[in-house]
Structure 1
Amino acid sequence: MQFGDELLGVLRLSSRTVWKFSEDEKRFLRAIATRAAALLAGDDPQARLRHTLRTFESLIEASPLPILSIDRNGSVQIWNRAAEELFGWQRHEVVGKSIPLGAQDLEEAARIRQEIDGGRVIRNQEVRWKRKDGTHLDLALSAAPLRDPASAVSGSIAILVDITDRKQREEQAEKTARFREHFVGIVSHDLRNPLTAIVTSAQLLLRYGELPERQARVVARIAASADRMARMIDDLLDFARSRLGGEFPIHRRRIDLRQICEQTVEELEFAYTRQVKLEVYGDPWGDWDPDRMAQVISNLVGNAVQHSEGEVEVSLRGEKDFVVLETHNRGTPIPREVLTHIFEPGRRGTDRSGGLGLGLFIVQQIVLAHGGSIEVRSSESDGTTFTVALPRKGRQKPPQ
């Protein structure tokens, strides 16, 4: 606090919670410091008193937050500009009268007054009060008793913070969480259970039914379609978790990525009756979720096999802190207009792509959840290459 060239003191302000001051609040604090310095520099006690009263009136009026004061009888004595803007009532409509609240709001205000009359200071109590237009506001109220010269409580002064937006976000987050749990429960239980029965029955028929060749082909098609639907359900669950704010489940343990690659590539070769060239260089060990890694490899290699006629190449390269997985095929390149959005949900590389268009989106989320990165290059001359870099140690990033 400075008056002319003389430093008179220091104004210090602290908060119980993390708070970033707005420009309006900074100007308000500077005004307090300036007024306090002027008071400290004055000599005439009466002048200082008048100056003090004007100062606090100015500060209350300039406050970016609503400030109001009521006397012992509940009549409004102070109603600043911010209170006018927030509630809609002008000063002349409320000063000297009771706070214009609804019946339920008045009951809450009466309880607060009773606590203040008992000398208690209230900090950040959440209240819900009505505006002039009938809408309600969620507010954080801090209030303290005012005392007369005999130290008896003569009224109270309160400052309010509008937390309506925050409360709405919290309510929306709760609704989203309830919807997520409901959706995941339906998909994982109500859809998966009958599908499991279909898959199991089809497999038993193929194994023990001694079916004629034509009927066996039909049952095999049923089993394959049911397996595909099961994968779509898994994709839907992962998509729901990532988009509705749930945790993307990752269970790390130390694994050999070469073994996961070999097993997954062998399954794909059998399913598509195609050869896939797999090459491994360096140390392929690291801390990853084995099931999620199989999901990444199956999706990338499966896409390469489906969208190419020639050789599909898969390489696994161990570096100092990372293991790099690459898939390459010489099929029709991904169109340029699709390439920039290829990892977005619902996108497909070609019109021949089946499923829900969630595969590459989920692959990206798995890679990000492991702290890694994924990129794609595609051209007529060089073919299509997906490159995944996975840190050996856990360095988790939140899925997007």
Structure 2
Amino acid sequence: MKSLIFKKKNLIAFAMAAVVAVSGFGVYQSQAAEKIDENKKCTITVKVPDACSLDDKPADNTIVNGISLYDGTLEVDFYKLADVKLNGEINTTVDGVDLSGLSGSKVTADTIKTIADEAYKKIDPKKPTYKVKINPSTEKSKPVNEDKGVDRGIYLYVVKDFQNKQYQYSFDKYIVMVPYSTTISQGTKVDEHGNIVDVEESSDDWVYDTEIALKCKATEIYGKLKITKELKTYNESLGTTPFVFEVEAFYGEGDKKEIVYSNVFSMDFDKPGEQYIEVEKIPANSKVIVKEVYSGASYTIEGDVEKTTEIKENETAEVKFTNDYNDQTDVGAISIENHFNENGYVDSNINPNSTTTENVETEN
């Protein structure tokens, strides 16, 4: 078994002050030789973030709310990597886990993440030392092992990914030490967004209650929609015939309805047959209503003018409309589309496949 010893004068500087420490790990320079109080209970409390960073957006505007709306189980597993002795010595308890990279004087957060990722390869993911389950919709924080507390040590913690509405949430693996000292964290605390909220005088005193704020990334997930139109018969004397479709995607019902996509599309026919339009990047897990709001002059729709479907991640939902000539002689016209998404911008995620006339985009 490998052994890694750090006296309290040269201890791993673990980056978990009351919330999350800025500086990561570094050499702990202490003038005190105070021992850990074996009679004091050690605790770790997991805090649920109120927001996550968007994976594909610039760092200055990446906050997205929504994790607190997840009415499910957020699971955090803790794996003990090493014991912390009363005299400040640390002995590796998991074969193959190398913590020596944490003892340098210029250890960064990226260094810690790399070591955490490597440690995860060595442990048995099915055998966590502790496990905590949180419902983000009802719980903002939760202690590990409830009232019993945790053993002194160095822990790897891993959060299982999950989906909530149109987002896939993923979390960084990280390492926490309990107990810790504010000298270790250099007296600097930050909130869950990485903003400095307090700078306090450092101390060699051991802190036995540790809080960790989970760091997460949210990646938007999408599906596609295919709208197919069949025109059974066609009267050439009436000219090109337009058909117009309104698409609205939303979550919830009634007062809780949240529209996440809204647009209008058209197809122009100059002969009988089928055409289709593919609409990309509609938020996954949303319900979609497609309504044929204009059926073309002299052509009658068969069946419902409104179709409902659901959008699944990386799948294509399909709806189909069928029209036929009704023996009327109204003259048709070329349709014009206004392509806007839910934010009011011109939508470029449109694939009007197999249409017979070029779509015209206008911006109001």
Fold shared per TM-score above 0.5:
no
Q: Which has the higher strand share?
A: 2
Larger RCO, structures 1/2 (Cα 8 Å, 6+ apart): 2
Which has more radius of gyration? 1
Greater percentage in helix: 1
